[in-house]
């Protein structure tokens, strides 16, 4: 079967320690790439609700987003069932939905939210995020036939350095603030096509390829196989 993969999962091939054997197993066995605690899904949903309510109530984007430049106006983010593209050169279906899309006279912006401490270019997951946003850009440009002129990550850092509980505690619990940190991402038009080529080549192998040297997941699978005899 032709490969269908999300932009984020494709981004795992951009990691310097990416393992082709693990990638083959995951695409053939439909294993999850990562499992996050449910609280992160709740925070992600909360973030989107707050920003969308702000848009509805004020008609504009939060003021701290001006750090990216002229984003224009928000545009509806399509449902995941419509936001995909079949890459013509590889036949791979690329999927995934960004958190936010805007459009200015120059073109479209694609933004994604991360609930994490901002570490800039030291973030070990940054190669995944670069591929993820560039994948969304490829899909958007194909669907809308308009250029994507900017990509950005918004890190929401929990504010834990507090001097007083005033205003943070009420009759039902307590509140936590989040501070936004912006990180522009380069629009790289060669990145995603090259990763799609690599993904297709690995996926179409009849058997799992040799794993990366010292891959802990490969070692764990080998130990399980030995145990099962």
**CA separation for the pair 76, 83 (Å, rounded):** 12
Please indicate, yes or no, if residue 164 is contained in any of the structural domains.
Answer: no
Is residue 165 in a domain?
no
How many structural domains comprise the chain? 1
User: CA distances (Å), 216 to each of 18, 21, 219, 221, 228, in order?
Assistant: 11, 12, 5, 9, 18
| pLDDT at position 192 | 98
Q: Would the CA dihedral through 145, 148, 153, 154 be positive or negative?
A: negative
Q: 196 lies in a domain?
A: yes
Note whether 29 and 221 are within 8 A (CB): no
Partners of 5 in the β-ladder: 94
- The residue segments making up the domain with residue 142 are 4-159+174-228
Q: Residue 165, Cβ neighbours under 10 Å: how many?
A: 8
169 inside domain: no
Does the residue 167 lie in any domain?
A: no
Task: Write down the pLDDT at residue 20.
Answer: 95
Cα 109 from Cα 148, distance rounded (Å)? 6
CA of 172: how far to CAs of 38, 47, 50, in Å? 21, 20, 19
Q: What's the CATH number where 29 sits?
A: 3.90.320
Instruction: Give the HSE-up count for residue 90: Cα atoms under 13 Å, Cβ half-sphere.
Output: 23
Could you list the pLDDT tens digit for every one of the 229 residues in the chain?
A: 789 999 999 999 999 999 999 999 988 886 655 556 677 788 888 888 898 899 889 988 899 998 999 999 999 999 999 999 999 999 999 999 999 999 999 999 999 999 888 776 668 889 999 999 999 999 999 999 999 999 999 999 988 888 888 888 988 999 888 999 999 999 999 999 999 999 999 999 999 999 999 898 888 888 887 878 6
In this prediction, residue 82 carries a pLDDT of 95
What sign has the CA pseudo-torsion 205, 127, 144, 148? Answer: negative
Give every CB contact of residue 69 below 8 A, 6+ residues apart in sequence: 150
Judge whether 168 lies within some domain. Answer: no
Q: Do the domain assignments include residue 214? A: yes
Whether 129 is covered by a domain: the verdict is: yes
């Amino acid at each position: 079967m032709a490969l269908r993969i999300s932009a984020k999962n494709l981004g795992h091939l951009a990691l310097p320690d990416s393992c082709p054997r693990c990638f083959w197993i995951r695409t053939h066995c439909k294993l999850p790439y990562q499992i996050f605690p449910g609280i992160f899904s709740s925070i992600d949903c909360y973030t989107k609700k707050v920003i969308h309510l702000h848009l509805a109530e004020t008609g504009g984007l939060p003021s701290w987003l001006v750090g990216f430049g002229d984003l224009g106006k928000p545009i509806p983010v399509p449902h995941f069932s419509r936001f995909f593209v079949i890459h013509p050169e590889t036949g791979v279906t690329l999927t995934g939905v960004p958190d936010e899309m805007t459009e200015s006279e120059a073109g479209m912006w694609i933004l994604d939210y991360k609930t994490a401490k901002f570490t800039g270019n030291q973030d070990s997951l940054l190669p995944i995020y670069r591929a993820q946003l560039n994948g969304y850009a490829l899909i958007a440009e194909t669907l809308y036939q308009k250029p994507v002129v900017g990509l950005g990550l918004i890190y929401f850092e929990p504010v834990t350095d507090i001097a007083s509980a005033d205003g943070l505690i009420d009759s039902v619990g307590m509140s936590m603030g989040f501070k936004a940190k912006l990180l522009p991402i380069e629009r790289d038009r060669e990145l995603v096509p090259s990763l799609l080529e690599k993904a297709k080549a690995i996926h179409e192998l009849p058997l799992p390829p040799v794993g990366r040297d010292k891959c802990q997941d490969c070692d764990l699978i080998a130990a399980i196989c030995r145990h099962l005899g």
